[in-house]
Structure 1
């Protein structure tokens, strides 16, 4: 079972609606596609080193968010690998742009994704990738704020389960404003091009 593919239409529907709302607001040519969308917002979670981290820690940085879980058997590691490759590509071609971007992985499986588990996981994809987890209530709140769907699949109390979730990469600006959905499905080049387009 592909744990995210079945809910990808939901993700696209949510962000299609966000884009529609943004389109209703006055904007000039070249505005970010998610300008004015009501997603994102304040959060406080725990990083891979066990430190409490709030969204204000990333003030002044462009934030590249990906929601997933470390026990994901297929799409999460593939997407994160592409994101890592895209960042490495832009680090070589445009290091000034790359330095302004903070990649962030947020777990949708807080019960199993402890800081220690996440630390080992994110290190496999990019040295600057920050992993965040939290209590179930904190994760529920942050996924709701970011318009991300997630739901545990399997019997209650089972240790082996999958988590259905939106498969999406989001770029936010240095003030925490939503900018664009980054097309990880277009490969590392697509990631690099989208960052060059929006990161100033």
Structure 2
């Protein structure tokens, strides 16, 4: 006689029952009984399904980790590359013969100023003259608007606007004081002797040439029309011509400040 088993759904609480059938010897080991083998197969079936369900999630996790590792590696390589390019750019600017010298001029309050006074600050600098009929006022208005827009960004430090005359014979301290008050409140006007002004302009490769005088003794100065960006190290970084809009200059200055590398 042998024991035949019928196994129901144990998880559902159904009954496991057996009955005798004269086909298998009672002397057979218990582990070989169909009932025991069926029960072992049934009990091992649940965990196998759970493992099978875990496999897609495991593959997804591995894929995410692998992809994240590749992305992190690419970011590190790209960051290092950009850092090297910025360092190369700084080194090139250091070797450029623009803004490498210094100046000693009088501001619109009569105070003597040198380039060292502005170290530690971002500077936007424009060369012009107070008798300029339209271009200089327009450019100084744009420069003032740029500085005001940059002031609205908490992450951007205050930018110092500077106006250096190319017409020192007419633009004395008093004339500059009257002129700069029409623009940004932080705008500093600088003047000096003819030689001092020429030296400052020559350092930034500024062209300035007075035209012929009219019957009233008035004249126009033909000069370079650029706004210069100077870093806190006193290093010339960029320039903006008349074609550059206010928003373009703001974006450029913000980008320079964001990627700024202090000189060693």
**TM-score bracket for the superposition, by shorter chain length:** 0.7 to 0.9
Kept after mapping to 2: 8 A contact 1:63/1:102? yes
Are residue 77 (structure 1) and residue 137 (structure 2) matched? yes
Q: Whose helix proportion is higher, 1 or 2?
A: 2
Kept after mapping to 2: 8 A contact 1:62/1:173? yes
The root-mean-square deviation of aligned C-alpha atoms, in Å, is 2.2
Q: CA deviation at 1:191?
A: 2.0
Q: Which residue of 2 aligns with 1:190?
A: 248
Q: 1:83 to 1:139 in 2, by over 3 A?
A: same
Are residue 61 (structure 1) and residue 117 (structure 2) matched? no
Kept after mapping to 2: 8 A contact 1:63/1:173? yes
Q: Which residue of 1 aligns with 2:97?
A: 38
Deviates more, 1:136-145 or 1:179-188: 179-188
Q: How does 1:28-177 map to 2 (within 5 A)?
A: 28-30=84-86, 31=89, 35-36=93-94, 37-40=96-99, 41-92=101-152, 94-99=153-158, 101-155=159-213, 159-177=217-235
Q: Which residue of 2 aligns with 1:16?
A: none
The TM-score with structure 1 as length reference comes to: 0.79
Could you list the runs of 5+ residues in structure 2 that have no partner in the other structure?
Answer: 1-82, 259-264
The TM-score with structure 2 as length reference comes to: 0.61
Q: Which runs of 4+ in 1 moved over 3 A?
A: 30-34, 155-158
Larger radius of gyration: 2
Q: CA deviation at 1:129?
A: 0.7
Q: 1:33 to 1:169 in 2, by over 3 A?
A: farther
Could you list the runs of 5+ residues in structure 1 that have no partner in the other structure?
Answer: 1-26
Tell me, in whole angstroms, the C-alpha distance in 2 between the residues paired with 1:121 and 1:154. Answer: 23
- How many corresponding residue pairs? 172
